[in-house]
Amino acid sequence: MKEWWVQVGLLSVPLLAVYLHIPPPKLSPALLSWRSSGGYFSYKDQNIFYRDSTGAVGSSDVVVLLHGFPTSSYDWCKIWEGLTQRFHRVIALDFVGFGFSDKPRPHRYSIFEQASIVEGLVRHLGLRHQRINLLSHDYGDTVAQELLHRSLQPLMLWLLFFLSHPITRLLPCRSELFFFSGSGQSSGPTRSLRRQSTGTCGRRCGPMTAISLFLFSILQYINQRKKHRDRWVGALMSTSVPLHLIYGPLDPVNPHPEFLQLYKKVLPMSTVSVLDDHISHYPQLEDPTGFLNAYLNFINSF
């Protein structure tokens, strides 16, 4: 009798081949509207999608939203209107490789590059000397940590949903949200990683190989978190700016109460908001009202 994994493989290959040849579904009206209300800017030779909405009159505050893996800026759709009632400008982008942004292949995707793209968007929008509120989740949290390490000023970054491996080897977490408060002028352009080839994939590569290489490249952020743990957790532990966590107790990635206890031990200076017991990994989608209230209460306390 053949090994079970051989049988699974023989069955999976034709099914995957059929799946890869199914035309992609049409965008929903909501996604079409989201895309049409945004635009693109160029980072090197990549087209990066972003949305920039003007909101509250009389406020000069700006908030930039960083989404998680494997999603896009649409993660913030349920709190977008609420944010525009508090902030003068609400801005979100799709990281390269995600959403409506370019997905180059081959490409060496990295947290460092994504952080440089955020800096590029800030410069593109003429906000380099503007105080910025940075709200991040999941994959975007690690990007936020890198921005904190670079000391991009002025910057306010709030930790909403800290679910990331970098904080500890004990919790296999994968996302976190940060908030930083600073003053003065931004540090100016910072270096970004040059595009590096991860190999060649021309006509000899089938669609399954190409997609596998793409996913493998994107998922390298997990190894990057392990490699640069001291850099990114150190940035959180050494910063003097306010940190805040908004936590969903039902999150399977960061079990309650172990995660919360460890978080408070590692970052005792941070404040915490715990949502209702049924809230899990995507609090901004599962409980947009509770999430938004917790976020605004933290901001308005300064």
User: Mind listing the pLDDT tens digit for each residue in 223-261?
Assistant: 999 999 999 999 999 887 788 889 999 998 888 999 999
Query: Which position has the higher pLDDT, 203 or 260?
Result: 260
Give the pLDDT confidence score for residue 241 in this predicted structure: 78
- Which pTM value belongs to this model? 0.78
Exposure pattern of 32-65 as b/e (b: 16+ CB <10 Å)? eebbeebeebebeebebbbbbbebeeeeebbbbb
For 81, residues 6+ apart whose C-beta sits below 8 A from its C-beta are: none
> Does residue 127 sit in helix, strand or coil?
coil
Mean pLDDT over 58-83 rounds to 95
Residues 112-123: pLDDT tens digits? 999 999 999 999
- Choose among 68, 179, 195, 63: nearest CA to 125: 63
Task: Using DSSP, state whether 287 is helix, strand or coil.
Answer: coil
Report how far residue 64's alpha carbon sits from residue 91's, in angstroms, rounded to the nearest whole number. Answer: 5
Instruction: Give me the pLDDT at residue 127, please.
Output: 94
- Mean model confidence pLDDT for the chain: 80
Reply yes or no on whether the pLDDT at 62 is more than 90: yes
Please state, in angstroms and rounded to a whole number, the distance separating the CA atoms of residues 119 and 140: 14
Q: Supply φ then ψ for residue 65, to 5 degrees.
A: -105, 130
In angstroms, the CA 165 to CA 225 distance is: 7
